[in-house]
């Protein structure tokens, strides 16, 4: 045997050993830098979170990142360093300092972190992903569709779909021995409603009892995005391999989702309509600004309304129904006050419901314990430092309010894990006097808060009031116990069925 093969073998081995050694050395230096020399080194948190983003990434993939960070807040307090360059907050001061209107002294309206709000190359910017300048234009043009006046004209949509929802629950209960999956039917309701307001077409959920394939596609796309966001932060030599691990079908969902939505928006524009839907406002106000929205921007806006405006409200209603069933005395009280205060269905109007103190208190408590957007508000200091909650945060830091953890933090609320609507009432028991209500911002704050919050409130009030007025919610089925506690989060809550025994 000659020595040549051995020499070749050694050369080949050293070709692997040197790069591996370089990667290892770089990793060690980076870890040492992150833990001991990084500008965020004095912020509290475990050393392994300061050292590398990997523990965070693993949690994102497991769907438990929000819960893990909540545990860190319990241990380290209201500001925690959760990755080498990310701070998470649970104190109320973080709202105005990070998200609120821009103030002097480096506080307020920090830009969205482009590593989180990714816009694929060549894709049209939406109100959600646009930079601040473009966002101002898009928001001005879209705000008309969410004004008080628009909302009052859109009430007929809400009444119609909520009535159909109650009817569907009754029919389903007859078919299935009184047991209904609340998640399924509330999702049908909110997607049909937002579909009609956005495209002038429903998704037929309440009519057919089936989830429209486009919606399934859309929400798979969102989950894929959650993974991609993390993968794109890995060192570039790993990105390609990691992307290949995401099934091709999943990666291709996005273009299918966009083209279907765009076609539906086009059909609505071509059809024309005198109904007060979102599109009618958007089209009517195109000429008011220097630069109106392009057809592609209008199409993407319609898709954004579906994504942002259906799942969130459905999550909230399903969660509140679950919390009420876990707290039968509160369910009894809500049912009896609604039935006493509203004798007939026609008494349930947006205006009447807006005033109803106990209904609003129940909904706020539902939003507190189960916020539909629990942990997705990532901002960045970009190339400037900022002052957040009284401390300087250096440039290039990502910041997030962990809404889920803030709402359950005993530093913010007395009896934080208990469902107590009374804490939100005018004559709240004195034991809740020190609750820090300013931390409760489920729709965020500032120029990039939820544009649909008034519609969302109208929906939540109408759906819950009609539900308890018309149907007796009796009990959770055994397979739906611990319903919130069991859920994972992939940007949105991954909700299992919520099977409830009802009587009509
Ligand atoms: C309970 C229901 C809802 C909750 C909790 C909720 C929450 C939020 C939050 C926290 C944001 C800020 C997101 C961020 O900064 O990344 C947001 C933005 C947004 N929401 Fe909602 N939302 C709800 C319902 C709705 C509805 C019904 C619509 C109607 C279509 C809607 C449309 C939007 C849009 C378009 C944005 C982006 C606004 C902007 O960037 O200017 N949302 N929502």
Q: Is residue 10 part of a domain?
A: no
Give yes or no for residue 2 having a pLDDT over 60.
no
Give yes or no for residue 498 having a pLDDT over 90.
yes
Q: Is residue 1 part of a domain?
A: no
If you average pLDDT over each of 17-21, 62-66, 201-205, which comes out highest? 62-66
Position 21 scores a pLDDT of: 84
Can you give the three-state secondary structure of 128-178, one letter per residue?
Answer: CCCCHHHHHHHHHHHHHHHCHHHHHHHHHHHHHHHHHHHHHHHHHHHHCCC
Task: Identify which of 43, 27, 397 has the alpha carbon closest to the alpha carbon of residue 234.
Answer: 27
CA of 427 to the centre of ligand 1 (A): 30
Q: Is residue 388 part of a domain?
A: yes
What's the whole-number mean pLDDT along residues 485-489? 96
Give yes or no for residue 288 having a pLDDT over 80.
no
Position 251 scores a pLDDT of: 63
CA of 305 to the centre of ligand 1 (A): 8
CATH of the domain at 394: 1.10.630.10
Please state at what angle helix 148-175 crosses helix 182-199, rounded to 10 degrees.
Answer: 140
Distance CA 99, CA 135 (A): 14
CA of 128 to the centre of ligand 1 (A): 9
Position 219 scores a pLDDT of: 78
Instruction: Quickly state the pLDDT bin for 103 (edges 50, 70, 90).
Output: confident
Q: Is residue 179 part of a domain?
A: yes
DSSP class of 80: E
Instruction: Quickly state the pLDDT bin for 252 (edges 50, 70, 90).
Output: low
Q: Is residue 4 part of a domain?
A: no
Residue 472: in which H helix or E strand, if any? strand 472-476
Task: Identify which of 30, 125, 109, 43 has the alpha carbon closest to the alpha carbon of residue 384.
Answer: 109
Q: What is the pLDDT of residues 6-19, one digit of tens each?
A: 666 666 666 767 77
User: Quick check: 226 and 491 in contact, CB under 8 A?
Assistant: yes
Structural tokens at position 314: 């459905």
Domain count for the chain = 1
Q: 236 or 489: whose pLDDT is higher?
A: 489
Position 417 scores a pLDDT of: 98
Position 504 scores a pLDDT of: 86
Q: Is residue 28 part of a domain?
A: no
Distance CA 370, CA 407 (A): 9
What's the whole-number mean pLDDT along residues 460-473? 97
Closest Cα to atom 17 of ligand 1: 450
Instruction: Quickly state the pLDDT bin for 77 (edges 50, 70, 90).
Output: very high
CA of 376 to the centre of ligand 1 (A): 11
326 labelled ligand-binding:
no
Mean pLDDT, the chain, as a whole number? 92
What's the whole-number mean pLDDT along residues 61-69? 97
Distance CA 325, CA 335 (A): 12
What's the whole-number mean pLDDT along residues 200-218? 90
Q: 309 or 246: whose pLDDT is higher?
A: 309
Give yes or no for residue 1 having a pLDDT over 60.
no
Q: How far is CA 391 from CA 76, 383, 385, 440, in A?
A: 16, 17, 10, 22
Position 206 scores a pLDDT of: 96
Closest Cα to atom 25 of ligand 1: 309
| Residue 478: Cβ within 10 Å count | 7
CA of 233 to the centre of ligand 1 (A): 26
Q: How many CA atoms lie within 13 A of 57 on its CB side?
A: 15
Structural tokens at position 23: 């990667």
Give yes or no for residue 289 having a pLDDT over 60.
no
Give yes or no for residue 344 having a pLDDT over 70.
yes
Atom of ligand 1 nearest to the CA of 278: 30
Task: Identify which of 341, 334, 358, 411 has the alpha carbon closest to the alpha carbon of residue 94.
Answer: 411
Closest Cα to atom 14 of ligand 1: 377
Give yes or no for residue 194 having a pLDDT over 60.
yes
Give yes or no for residue 339 having a pLDDT over 90.
yes
pTM recorded for the entire structure: 0.93
Domain containing residue 224: 38-503
Position 464 scores a pLDDT of: 98
Position 257 scores a pLDDT of: 75
Position 10 scores a pLDDT of: 60
Position 250 scores a pLDDT of: 64
Q: Is residue 320 part of a domain?
A: yes
| Residue 178: Cβ within 10 Å count | 15
Distance CA 114, CA 380 (A): 8
Task: Identify which of 390, 366, 452, 383 has the alpha carbon closest to the alpha carbon of residue 127.
Answer: 452
Q: Is residue 29 part of a domain?
A: no
Ligand 1 neighbours by CB, cut-off 6 Å? 127-128, 139, 304-305, 308-309, 312-313, 316, 372-373, 376-377, 442-444, 448-452, 455-456
The answer, yes or no, to whether ipTM is higher than 0.85 is: yes
Distance CA 23, CA 85 (A): 21
What's the whole-number mean pLDDT along residues 38-47? 98
Is residue 371 helix, strand or coil? Answer: coil
CA of 310 to the centre of ligand 1 (A): 10
Position 66 scores a pLDDT of: 97
Distance CA 168, CA 171 (A): 5
Q: What is the pLDDT of residues 356-410, one digit of tens each?
A: 999 999 999 999 999 999 998 999 999 999 999 999 999 999 999 999 999 999 9
Give yes or no for residue 341 having a pLDDT over 60.
yes
Position 310 scores a pLDDT of: 92
Distance CA 83, CA 49 (A): 5
Best mutation site among 452, 458, 492 for ligand 1, i.e. most ligand atoms within 8 A of its Cβ?
Answer: 452
Distance CA 319, CA 476 (A): 12
If you average pLDDT over each of 159-168, 242-251, 305-314, which comes out highest? 159-168
Instruction: Quickly state the pLDDT bin for 217 (edges 50, 70, 90).
Output: confident
Please state at what angle helix 453-470 crosses helix 148-175, rounded to 10 degrees.
Answer: 30
């Amino acid at each position: 045997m000659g020595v040549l093969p051995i020499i070749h073998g050694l050369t080949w081995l050293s070709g692997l050993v040197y790069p591996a050694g370089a990667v290892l050395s770089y990793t060690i230096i980076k870890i040492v830098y992150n833990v001991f020399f990084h500008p965020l080194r004095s912020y509290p948190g475990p050393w392994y979170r300061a050292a590398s983003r990997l523990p965070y990434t693993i949690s994102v993939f497991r769907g438990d990142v929000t819960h893990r960070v909540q545990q860190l807040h319990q241990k380290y307090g209201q500001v925690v360093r959760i990755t080498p360059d990310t701070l998470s907050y649970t104190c109320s001061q973080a709202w105005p300092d990070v998200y609120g209107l821009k103030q002097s002294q480096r506080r307020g309206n920090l830009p969205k972190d482009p590593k989180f709000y990714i816009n694929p190359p060549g894709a049209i910017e939406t109100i959600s992903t646009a930079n601040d300048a473009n966002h101002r234009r898009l928001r001005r043009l879209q705000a008309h569709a969410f004004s008080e006046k628009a909302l009052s004209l859109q009430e007929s949509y809400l009444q119609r779909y909520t009535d159909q929802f109650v009817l569907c629950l009754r029919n389903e209960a007859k078919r299935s021995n009184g047991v209904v999956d609340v998640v399924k039917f509330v999702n049908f309701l909110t997607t049909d409603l937002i579909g009609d307001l956005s495209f002038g077409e429903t998704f037929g959920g309440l009519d057919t009892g089936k989830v429209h394939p486009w919606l399934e596609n859309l929400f798979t796309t969102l989950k894929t995005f959650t993974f991609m966001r993390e993968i794109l932060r890995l060192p570039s030599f790993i990105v390609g391999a990691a992307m290949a691990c995401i099934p091709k079908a999943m990666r291709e969902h996005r273009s299918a989702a966009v083209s279907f939505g765009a076609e539906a928006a086009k059909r609505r524009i071509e059809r024309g309509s005198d109904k007060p839907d979102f599109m009618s406002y958007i089209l009517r106000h195109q000429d008011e600004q220097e630069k109106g929205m392009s057809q592609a921007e209008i199409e993407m806006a319609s898709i954004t309304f579906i994504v942002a405006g259906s799942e969130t409200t459905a999550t909230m209603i399903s969660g509140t129904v679950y919390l009420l069933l876990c707290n039968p005395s509160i369910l009894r009280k809500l049912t009896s006050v609604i039935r006493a205060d509203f004798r007939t269905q026609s008494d349930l109007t947006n205006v009447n419901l807006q005033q109803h103190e106990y209904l609003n208190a129940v909904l706020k408590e539902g939003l507190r314990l189960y916020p539909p957007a629990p942990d997705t508000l990532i901002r960045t200091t970009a190339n400037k430092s900022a002052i957040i909650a009284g401390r300087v945060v250096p440039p290039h830091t990502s910041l997030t309010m962990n809404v889920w953890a803030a709402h359950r933090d005993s530093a913010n609320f007395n009896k934080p894990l208990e469902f107590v609507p009374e804490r939100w009432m005018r004559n709240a028991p004195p034991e809740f006097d020190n609750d820090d209500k300013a931390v409760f911002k489920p729709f965020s704050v500032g120029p990039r808060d939820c544009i649909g919050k008034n519609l969302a409130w109208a929906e939540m009030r109408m759906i819950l009031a009609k539900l308890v007025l018309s149907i007796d919610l009796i009990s959770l089925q055994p397979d739906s116990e611990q319903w919130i506690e069991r859920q994972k989060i992939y940007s949105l809550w991954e909700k299992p069925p919520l099977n409830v025994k009802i009587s009509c």
